[in-house]
């Protein structure tokens, strides 16, 4: 093994030792600083893979860790990279990536993802502050009707309505915002993205790791959703559940955006999820599978804003 390879292997072992417990592990014995960013890049790439990150996310971590080490002039195996500039994450304040989407509240609160307009109206009337219509159909006429019905259902409530996927119908109906999955955002042609942005509608984007967060940030959306935090049976996920430790790291990186945590989150998870600093928690089954959805909404709303100790 060459000197550079040995150095990289030692750095990788130090990173894994510090973070194998979920980014909160002990700091190993200090190592001499690497002579350049290259050993750190190789070490971080190997360590991220050992820690279970998929290849595209391991690459993002490696680049960020090398950039952090060069910027600070030191290597700290316990200091997981979290600075947006090291990752190349586009901020909402920067104009480098063009104009941003319209702003939404920094804290969207309880966020209900619902199957049809009737459910949208029901949860809006129950006091849920943010609702999303996730209506699955290949019938364009049926989609347009359901979107219009959802917009009408929230008109006499303060709820903010996002439409999942069906952005053209959403703009025609005058909805508050649109939510797109990563694949839908990637597939959106530049003129369509400009149309969506200039309409004034808010845009939320689903992400499932570092690489997707970086791509989403290039559009400078209104909020970034991060998940799946826990296992979910509602859709087949390409990535494993992220867990609370990764959610906390993602939230720290994307502090410049309103953040939504989503995926398998139940009432008992709320304190730990909120402790990561996210301003919104999205739920599906916690409401639509509840025996009494209105009572479930009341409990979730209370958990979202627990009373302060005297």
Q: How far apart are the C-alpha atoms of 185 and 224, rounded to whole Å?
A: 12
CA atoms within 13 A on the CB side of 158: 6
Annotated binding site for Mg(2+): 165, 184
Q: Where are the domains of the chain?
A: 3-87, 109-303
**Tens digits of residue pLDDT in 234-253:** 666 566 789 999 999 999 99
| Residue 105 exposed, middle or buried by CB count within 10 Å (0-12, 13-18, 19+) | middle
The per-residue pLDDT for 81 is 95
What is the rounded average pLDDT of the residues 151-179? 98
Is the model's pLDDT at 94 over the cut of 80?
A: no
| 131-157 per-residue burial string, b: 16 or more CB within 10 A, e: under 16 | bbbbbeeeeeeebbbbbbbbbebbeeb
- Which residue would you say has higher pLDDT here, 51 or 17? 51
CA atoms within 13 A on the CB side of 200: 5
The per-residue pLDDT for 117 is 98
The per-residue pLDDT for 38 is 84
| 43-62 per-residue burial string, b: 16 or more CB within 10 A, e: under 16 | bbbbbbbebebbeebbbbbb
The per-residue pLDDT for 96 is 67
Contact 31, 10 (CB under 8 A): yes
* Bridge partner list, 207: 226
The per-residue pLDDT for 28 is 41
Is the model's pLDDT at 113 over the cut of 50?
A: yes
Length of the chain: 310
Question: How many separate helices (H) and strands (E) can be counted in the chain?
Answer: 14, 8
Is the model's pLDDT at 185 over the cut of 50?
A: yes
Annotated binding site: 132-136, 164-165, 184, 206, 235, 264
Element (H or E) spanning 282, and its range?
strand 280-283
Give the single-character DSSP code of 164: E
Is the model's pLDDT at 89 over the cut of 80?
A: yes
**Tens digits of residue pLDDT in 273-284:** 999 999 999 999
Q: How confident is the model at residue 195 (pLDDT cuts 50, 70, 90)?
A: very high
* Three-class DSSP category at 162: strand
Contact 300, 283 (CB under 8 A): yes
What is the rounded average pLDDT of the residues 293-297? 98
Contact 246, 227 (CB under 8 A): no
Record the pTM. 0.92
Classify strands 223-226 and 259-261 as parallel, antiparallel or unpaired.
parallel
Residue % of the chain over a pLDDT of 90? 75
| Helix ranges restricted to H, the chain | 3-19, 37-50, 55-72, 84-87, 117-125, 140-153, 167-173, 182-187, 190-198, 210-218, 243-253, 270-274, 285-288, 293-304
The per-residue pLDDT for 27 is 41
The per-residue pLDDT for 20 is 82
* Bridge partner list, 206: 225
| CATH class, 109-303 region | alpha beta
What is the rounded average pLDDT of the residues 165-194? 96
Residue % of the chain over a pLDDT of 70? 88
CA atoms within 13 A on the CB side of 229: 27
Q: How far apart are the C-alpha atoms of 236 and 226, rounded to whole Å?
A: 16
**Torsion sign across C-alpha atoms 52, 54, 59, 65:** negative
Q: How confident is the model at residue 156 (pLDDT cuts 50, 70, 90)?
A: very high
The per-residue pLDDT for 22 is 61
- Beta-carbon contacts of 70 under 8 Å, excluding residues fewer than 6 positions away, are 36, 37
Q: How confident is the model at residue 24 (pLDDT cuts 50, 70, 90)?
A: very low
What is the rounded average pLDDT of the residues 26-36? 45
**Tens digits of residue pLDDT in 98-109:** 789 999 999 999
* Bridge partner list, 133: 114, 163
Question: What does pLDDT average to over the chain?
Answer: 90
């Amino acid at each position: 093994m060459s000197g550079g390879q040995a150095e990289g292997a030692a750095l990788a072992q130090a990173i894994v030792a510090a973070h194998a417990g979920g980014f909160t592990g002990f700091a190993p014995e200090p190592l001499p600083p690497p002579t350049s960013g290259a050993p750190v890049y190789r070490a971080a790439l190997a360590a991220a893979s050992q820690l279970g990150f998929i290849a595209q996310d391991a690459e993002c971590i490696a680049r960020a860790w090398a950039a952090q080490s060069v910027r600070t002039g030191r290597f700290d195996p316990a200091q997981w990279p979290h600075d947006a500039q090291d990752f190349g994450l586009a901020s909402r304040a920067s104009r480098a990536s063009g104009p941003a989407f319209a702003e939404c509240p920094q804290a969207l609160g309880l966020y209900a993802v619902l199957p049809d307009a009737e459910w949208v109206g029901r949860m809006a009337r129950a006091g849920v502050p943010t609702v999303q219509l996730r209506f699955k159909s290949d019938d364009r006429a049926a989609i347009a009707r359901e979107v219009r019905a959802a917009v009408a259902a929230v008109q006499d409530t303060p709820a903010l309505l996002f439409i999942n996927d069906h952005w053209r119908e959403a703009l025609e109906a005058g909805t508050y915002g649109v939510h797109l999955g990563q694949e839908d955002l990637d597939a959106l042609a530049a003129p369509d993205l400009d149309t969506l942005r200039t309409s004034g509608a808010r845009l939320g984007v689903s992400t499932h790791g570092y690489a997707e967060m970086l791509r989403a940030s290039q559009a400078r959306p209104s909020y970034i959703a991060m998940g799946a935090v826990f296992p979910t049976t509602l859709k087949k996920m390409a990535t494993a559940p992220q867990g609370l430790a990764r959610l906390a790291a993602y939230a720290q990186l994307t502090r410049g955006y309103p953040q939504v945590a989503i995926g398998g989150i139940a009432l008992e998870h709320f304190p730990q999820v909120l402790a990561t600093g996210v301003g919104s928690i999205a739920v599906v089954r916690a409401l639509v599978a509840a025996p009494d959805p209105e009572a479930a909404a009341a409990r979730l709303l209370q958990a979202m804003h627990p009373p302060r100790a005297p």
